[in-house]
Amino acid sequence: MPLRLDIKRKLSCRSDRVKSVDLHSTEPWMLASLYNGQVHIWNYETQVMVKTFEVCDLPVRCSKFVIRKSWIVTGSDDMQIRAYNYNTLERVHSFEAHSDYVRCLVVHPTQPYVLSSSDDMSIKLWDWDKKWQCIQTFEGHTHYVMQVVFNPKDNNTFASASLDRTIKVWQLGSSQPNYTLEGHEKGVNTVDYYYGGEKPYLISGADDRLVKIWDYQNKNCVQTLSGHAQNISAVSFHPDLPIILTGSEDGTIRIWHANTYRLETTLNYGLERVWAINCMKGSNSIAIGYDEGSVVLKLGREEPAVSMDNSGKIIWAKHSEIQQANLKTVGDAEIKDGERLPLTIKDMGGCEIYPQTIAHSPNGRFVVVCGDGEYIIYTAMALRNKSFGPAQEFVWSTDSSGYAIRESNSSIKLFKNFKETKSFKPDFGADGIFGGPLIGVRSANSLAFYDWESFQLIRRIEIQAKLVYWADNGEQLVISTEDSYFVLKYDAKAVTAFVERGEPLPEEGIEEAFNVVGDVQETVKTGFWIGDCFVYSNSVNRLNYFVGGEIVTVAHLDRTMYLLGYIPKDNRVYLADKDLNVTSYLLLLSVLEYQTAVMRRDFQTADRVLPSVPKEQRTRVAQFLEKQGFKSQALAVTADPEHKFELALQLKDLKTVYALAKESESVTKWKQLGALALKTSDFKLAEECMIQAEDYMGLLLLANCSGNRDLMKRLARMAEDKQRFNVAFTANWSLGKLENCLDILIKSDRLPEAAIFARTHLPSHVGRVLLTWKEKMSRTNVKAAQALADPVQYPNLFPGFEQALHAEQFFRQERSQLTPASMYSQIPRPDDRHLIEETQDAESSGQFHYSPEAPPTKADEMDAAGRRSVRSEDSSETERATSRPKPYENGETPTVIRDAPPLLNSQAHQPAHNGTDTDDIDQLQEELDDLDFNGVDGHDLQEDDGSLI
């Protein structure tokens, strides 16, 4: 049977003649050296040229990646070898290596060596750690040396191909060849080693249009491949697949079976002559260089041939060798998520076919190997052959005694106890088959499910299915497509009822058989079911599971991994990469059972399972509950204080939020609780939260809105202690304590503003403010300080100042009183009042008698400041003693704190000259003009009517 090999073109790009190609081991890059002297780097995943640079004006016949140095080394017809950093494109080194064209370069896999061959008939070994010193020269060929290649099984030996019609095998350290292989009738262009350990083979291609395979131990030709119409320019043993690739000047790539030497397929992409082929170990990508461009192909599937049974026994294939590993050998060693498991490998023997897929039977007794268009069923323990036959695909039924094979695109056979029971041809063809409780048959545009016993059609679904995964209970399944997957529920009872009714079967089958549970726009690479949870890896290397419409991410994988299975007693999911490195991730069965019970609304089972969920996993369970809308249960389950706080906020559980905020002492949490308390009208709690969070602006708003005079007084003191002068000023202003407002301006060193404030609202204090202002200014400019005029000394410059003193005394009592909210509509606006006239009317009627007061001195101010400091300390002690404010007494009427109106508008005045220079007066005027009257915290200080003070 022919080798079943999928071939996909990943990159096709046009360019000048390509003389060599190379693949990067970690990046999706192809390196191409061109006949026109340029080098290109292509990303074959995105089909974009990543980098390009010119080496010289002559052909660049060879170039190689040096991954460990981030280099590209090139050899060209100017006889130079050059090294470039492929990240910066900086030339690291260049030197003349040969006396003729450089034909080939090869990099030693472990040593700092580069081997070069040339038309000067020599081979040279270069050491880049020794400044590219030539440490050995190999001579013996009598014509151009076209190619050299290291032996992958012995890095100290290499082979060379020459136009002298020979292949020579050399040893590092010896200048003479070990031996020579002769057999080609014309010049040999290319040579390569077989990578597998079981065959000591070399392959060569020559101008005689023949490909020869040599046993280099016996030194004889074991096979000759013919069929190309022109010279053979490139040959390669694939490192992983059992294939040989040959390229010719006839423009074709031929793929041969490495075991049978049968021609599998011929590829021709119309790019004229083939010059280079490159394969890379661990990858199914192949790069090909042509006369007119380059092509990158992907051969076969990268998913390894590996399977694990329910007990943890893993079987895989390396080439044609079957090996076994047992997870029990790991023992009690500590296993970390994502770490490679130290497994003990046991060789089980060779397989007659090249394995492309391996699958255990559901009970784990048998294992089937498929490949080369055949299948072989072995016993899992001893690898004894139980059955075999031709098949393109093989699937197990759920009871392990039955299986089905797809012989071709039109024929399916069913077996029971290794005997054929039925053969049929599906109506819509069979491009693929899937096992499980029902046998699934995929056609071009649909997926049909049939009964295993009667092969009656159950349901046909119009979908381009890629994979089908059944749950162990047979009630749920996932159908995966190219870019999404669908979760369906299978109703076996509805199918049985339909059959019992004896109704004629519709063309599309039984409609009630399947119900769609959910669909997800995500590509499934591999997957399986654990109970009602579907675990899978996706195209962006995430390990997820789907339960009840929710997707939970278990881990972010650092590379493409393939799921092997789940061991419940270990609570771990096991995965393998393409190199058969096995890793695992923790996935607690108790968590899955709890989540499944919640989705079934079986809360009794969920409560029973919850105690078995470890505390470190409780938060994950709580997040799942939250997504399902069960926030109260999530609050009770979560172990994360942050998550609990968020849930309590959402549930408006003030008691829990208060306790958590008190524990954490987080300002942010106090603010969040304060906002929630305001929304729920718990003003006492809101006040405490704002005090704890030092949210003075919030307290100001709360005190204003609630008319809480005590809170406003407390806020004024706290804000001043914390140097939040803007809030302190506003609080004192609202209380009508203008003297305190003036003191705050002086304390914050805003003396010009303090002088204007005193002139406007407290004219009796102008003198002391002016004295302080003069003292400060005199330190920098004495004349400017002397230019400041005192209204007491120069009343002629301040008309109306005496009336302002009367008004200040007349309204002093009024501004210290609070007015009930019920009187709001009867209070005139400040703009509508004429304070001087009211004062004069009161004096005329005898209601008010002005008593001249001595202006406060600086000593009086210091004494008053000391008393305020004592009151502040006393109040701080009281605040610390009481954690929450006292509630309102029953029957108390809230009052509105009315902003005190300005007593007198500022009036323009001119200071006395007193003999000062014009320059000093101008400087003083500039200082006054520069006053922006901004608040001490950077915020505007405003009157209640919005005008700036």
Could you tell me which residues come within 8 angstroms of residue 737 by beta carbon, excluding any fewer than 6 positions away? 716, 816
pLDDT in tens, 845-871: 888 888 887 666 555 555 555 544 434
C-alpha span between 362 and 470 (Å, rounded): 12
Least confident interval from 66-75, 122-131, 339-348, 667-676: 667-676
Query: Within a 10 A sphere around the Cβ of 95, how many other Cβ atoms?
Result: 14
Residue 173 has pLDDT above 70, yes or no: yes
Q: How is residue 617 written in tokens?
A: 């996993």
Q: CA–CA distance from 34 to each of 162, 171, 253, 292, 827 (Å)?
A: 22, 31, 20, 10, 93
Find the angle CA(933)-CA(935)-CA(940) to the nearest 5 degrees.
Answer: 80
Residue 719 has pLDDT above 50, yes or no: yes
β-bridge partners, 133: 127
Among 802, 746, 747, 862, which Cα is nearest to 757's?
A: 746
C-alpha span between 738 and 437 (Å, rounded): 88
Residue 872 has pLDDT above 80, yes or no: no
C-alpha span between 754 and 95 (Å, rounded): 82
581 exposure class (CB count in 10 Å sphere: 0-12, 13-18, 19+): middle
Give the max Cα distance, the chain. 139
What pLDDT was estimated at residue 928?
A: 41
Residue 824 has pLDDT above 80, yes or no: no
What pLDDT was estimated at residue 3?
A: 64
What pLDDT was estimated at residue 400?
A: 82
The b-or-e profile of 171-198 (16+ CB within 10 A means b, else e) is ebeeeebeeebebbeebbbbbbbbbbee
Which is more confident, 922 or 274? Answer: 274
Q: CA–CA distance from 93 to each of 35, 71, 73, 81 (Å)?
A: 21, 10, 9, 8
Residue 878 has pLDDT above 70, yes or no: no
Report the sign of the C-alpha dihedral through residues 612, 617, 622, 624, in that order. negative
C-alpha span between 763 and 907 (Å, rounded): 12
Average pLDDT, integer, range 485-512: 90
Query: Within a 10 A sphere around the Cβ of 334, how many other Cβ atoms?
Result: 6
DSSP conformation class of 429: -
Q: Rounded to an integer, what is the distance from CA 512 to the centroid of its chain?
A: 41
β-bridge partners, 297: 9, 286
Find the angle CA(37)-CA(41)-CA(46) to the nearest 5 degrees.
Answer: 145
pLDDT band at 877 (very low <50, low <70, confident <90, very high): very low
Q: What is the dihedral of CA 798, 804, 806, 812, to 10 degrees?
A: -150
Which is more confident, 899 or 558? Answer: 558
What secondary structure does DSSP assign to 653-683, as a single string? -HHHHHHHHHHHT-HHHHHHHHHHHHHTT-H
β-bridge partners, 658: none
Residue 655 has pLDDT above 80, yes or no: yes
Q: Rounded to an integer, what is the distance from CA 283 to the centroid of its chain?
A: 25
pLDDT band at 529 (very low <50, low <70, confident <90, very high): very high
Which is more confident, 432 or 597? Answer: 432
Direct distance between the N- and C-terminal alpha carbons of the chain, in angstroms, rounded to an integer: 98
C-alpha span between 189 and 59 (Å, rounded): 18
Which is more confident, 42 or 666? Answer: 42
What pLDDT was estimated at residue 97?
A: 94
The amino acid at 878: T
Q: Which residue has the tokens 């999530």?
A: 634
Asked if 757 contacts 739 with a C-beta cutoff of 8 angstroms, the reply is: no
454 exposure class (CB count in 10 Å sphere: 0-12, 13-18, 19+): exposed
What secondary structure does DSSP assign to 11-74, as a single string? EEEE-S-EEEEEE-SSSSEEEEEETTSEEEEEETTTTEEEEEEE--SS-EEEEEEEGGGTEEEE
Residue 365 has pLDDT above 80, yes or no: yes
Among 793, 789, 798, which Cα is nearest to 913's?
A: 789
Q: Which residue has the tokens 């994360």?
A: 640
What pLDDT was estimated at residue 189?
A: 96
The amino acid at 596: T
Query: Within a 10 A sphere around the Cβ of 419, how many other Cβ atoms?
Result: 8
Q: Give the pTM.
A: 0.64
β-bridge partners, 115: 106, 125
Share of the chain above pLDDT 90, in %: 45
Q: CA–CA distance from 259 to each of 2, 197, 240, 262 (Å)?
A: 12, 14, 13, 8
Which is more confident, 332 or 713? Answer: 713
Q: How is residue 540 written in tokens?
A: 């962006």
C-alpha span between 23 and 871 (Å, rounded): 81
Report the sign of the C-alpha dihedral through residues 915, 918, 920, 923, in that order. positive
C-alpha span between 800 and 834 (Å, rounded): 14
Coil, strand or helix at 487:
strand
Find the angle CA(14)-CA(15)-CA(19) to the nearest 5 degrees.
Answer: 120
pLDDT band at 478 (very low <50, low <70, confident <90, very high): very high
What pLDDT was estimated at residue 708?
A: 82
What integer best gives the mean pLDDT of the chain?
84
pLDDT in tens, 101-119: 999 999 999 999 999 999 9
What pLDDT was estimated at residue 656?
A: 84
Among 134, 266, 299, 158, which Cα is nearest to 216's?
A: 158
pLDDT in tens, 205-214: 999 999 999 9
C-alpha span between 520 and 483 (Å, rounded): 9
C-alpha span between 234 and 861 (Å, rounded): 101
Residue 294 has pLDDT above 60, yes or no: yes
Consecutive H or E run containing 393: strand 393-396
Q: Hey, which of 249-258, 419-428, 856-865 has the most confident mean pLDDT?
A: 249-258
Q: How is residue 838 written in tokens?
A: 């009211």
What pLDDT was estimated at residue 671?
A: 84
What pLDDT was estimated at residue 661?
A: 83
Which is more confident, 717 or 831? Answer: 717
What pLDDT was estimated at residue 882?
A: 38
284 exposure class (CB count in 10 Å sphere: 0-12, 13-18, 19+): buried
What pLDDT was estimated at residue 468?
A: 95
Least confident interval from 190-199, 465-474, 640-649, 728-737: 640-649
Phi-psi category of residue 823: left, alpha or beta, with phi > 0 → left and psi -120 to 50 → alpha: alpha
Q: Hey, which of 500-504, 549-553, 572-576, 903-907 has the most confident mean pLDDT?
A: 572-576
Q: Which residue has the tokens 């005027």?
A: 925
Which is more confident, 848 or 465? Answer: 465
Q: How is residue 105 written in tokens?
A: 């370069």
What pLDDT was estimated at residue 158?
A: 96
Domains of the chain, first to last? 7-299 (2.130.10.10), 720-929 (no CATH)
C-alpha span between 32 and 22 (Å, rounded): 7
C-alpha span between 658 and 722 (Å, rounded): 25
What pLDDT was estimated at residue 599?
A: 78
What secondary structure does DSSP assign to 497-536, as a single string? HHHHHTPPPPTTB-GGGEEEEEEES--EEEEEEETTEEEE
What pLDDT was estimated at residue 855?
A: 62
